Amino acid sequence: MNDYTISGIQQMGIGVRNLKESWNWYINMFGMNCKIFEEEAEAKIMLPYTGNKARKRHAVLAINLQGGGGFEVWQYKEREPVPLKEEIRLGDIGILACKMKVKDIGKAYSFFTEQGSVILNKPTADPSGRKTFYMKDPSGNLFHINEGDGWFMDTGHISGGSCGAVIGVTDIDRALGLYSDILGYDQIIYDITGTFPDLTNIPGDNEPVRRILLGNSKPFIGPFSKIFGQSIMELICSTGRSGKKIYEGRYWGDPGFIHICFDIKGIDHLKARCSEKGFPFTVNSKESYKGQGFDMGEAGGHFAYVEDPDGTLIEFVETLRLPLVKKLGWYLDLSKRKAEPLPDWILKMLRFSRVKAGK
C-alpha cells in the first residue's frame, strides 16, 4: 500500500522564448487564464539540468478551471534559449506531445481551424476507437486533442486543460516501472505495433512504432483532484530506428516540453517508493531547504524530480500554501490537511485569479 497520493497532473512545463506571447496564445486557445503564480527568480537547485549554474527565469503557472492540468510557462532571462535543431519525429525520446481534453472533438476542430491554428490531421479514430487530432502551437509544440470527461466548472471555453502526454521511450517495458508502478497508470487501454492513420502528418508517420496507452485503475484523489481530473499516458517506441533525445545538448527550460508535474501528498513516502523502484530523486527542495517549504511567488510547497529510464523529467509538487483571493490576502494552508478532495466552494474561489490575454 502506498503512503502517498497523487491528485493528478498539475501542469505541463513548457519552455518558451517569449513568455507573454506564448501565455496569451495558451489563454486564447486552451483557456489557461487562472494564474496560480508568476515569478522572476533564480532556479537555484535545478543545477543538474541547467549546466551546473543557477539561472534567472520568468515563470507563470496557470490552469483552466473547467478541468485538467495546467501549464508552467518558463522563459530564461539572461540566457538565449536553445531551440531544437530538428523537428520532433515519432520514435524520438522525450515528451512528444501534450494531450488536451475538449468537450466536443468536432467543435474543437472547427474552433482551432477558425483561429488559424496549425492542424496536422482531421479527427481520426485512434486504436481504442476514440476520435482525436494533432495541432501545433506557434513554437511548434505538438498538442494531442482528445474528447474528455470529468469537468469541474463551465467557463464557456472550447477546451479544458491537459489530460496526459505522449512520451517517446526506448523500452516500454522498462518505462512501465515508473509510469505504472509509481504514477499509477496500470491499466492498458491498448498495446499495438504498426503505422496508424491517427498519426498522419506527424514526422515519422510512415515508420512502425509500438504504442501503449495507459489509464489508471484507481482514480487519482487529493486536494485538487476535482480540477486536475483523471489522465492517460501514451508511450511510443520505434521498432526500427534509434530516435534522438529531444533535450540532448540543451537545458531544462529551453523551448519545448520540459517536464510533466504531478500534484502529490506525502513526498517523503514517495521518495522512498521511487528509490525502491530505481528512480531516486535527482532534485529535492525539501532536503535543499532543510525541510522548509519553497516559495514560488504567492504559492509554496516542496518539489522534487525523477528521471524516467531515458532521462525524461517527472516533477512532483506537494503544495503547502495556495493563494485563493490575493487582493484580500486569503491563502489556503494545506500543510495539515488530509489527502482528500477540497470542497467545491474553496476550489471555485480560484476564479478570482483569472486574467485576460495581454495582461
State which amino acid sits at residue 335: S
Residue 264 in grid coordinates: 502529490
State which amino acid sits at residue 195: T
Report the first-to-last Cα separation within the chain, whole angstroms.
46
For the chain, 359 residues long, give each residue's pLDDT as a single digit of tens.
468 999 999 999 999 999 999 999 999 999 999 998 888 988 889 999 999 999 999 999 999 999 999 999 999 999 999 999 889 999 999 999 999 999 999 999 999 999 999 999 999 999 999 999 999 999 999 999 999 989 999 999 999 999 999 999 999 999 999 999 999 999 999 999 999 999 999 999 999 999 999 999 999 999 999 999 999 999 999 998 888 999 999 999 999 999 999 999 999 999 999 999 999 999 999 888 765 556 665 667 899 999 999 999 999 999 887 767 666 667 777 777 788 899 999 899 899 889 888 75
Instruction: Return the DSSP state at 300.
Output: E
Instruction: Return the DSSP state at 8.
Output: E
Instruction: Return the DSSP state at 93.
Output: B
Residue 17 in grid coordinates: 522564448
Q: Taking the model in full, what pTM does it have? A: 0.94
Paired sense of beta strands 159-168 and 232-238, if any:
parallel
Paired sense of beta strands 94-102 and 159-168, if any:
antiparallel
Collapsing DSSP to helix, strand or coil, 24 comes out as helix
Instruction: Return the DSSP state at 224.
Output: T
Question: What domains, with CATH codes, occur in the chain?
Answer: 5-353 (3.10.180.10)
* Contact indicator for 46, 246 with CB cutoff of 8 Å: no
Partnered with residue 207 across adjacent β-strands are none
- Only one residue has cell 496569451, namely 24
* Contact indicator for 194, 98 with CB cutoff of 8 Å: no
Residue 122 in grid coordinates: 482531421
Please enumerate in sequence order all residues whose Cβ is within 8 A of that of 331, keeping only pairs 6 or more positions apart, or say none: 298, 321, 322, 323, 324
Which of 311, 319, 189, 202 shows the shortest CA–CA distance to 251?
311
State which amino acid sits at residue 294: F
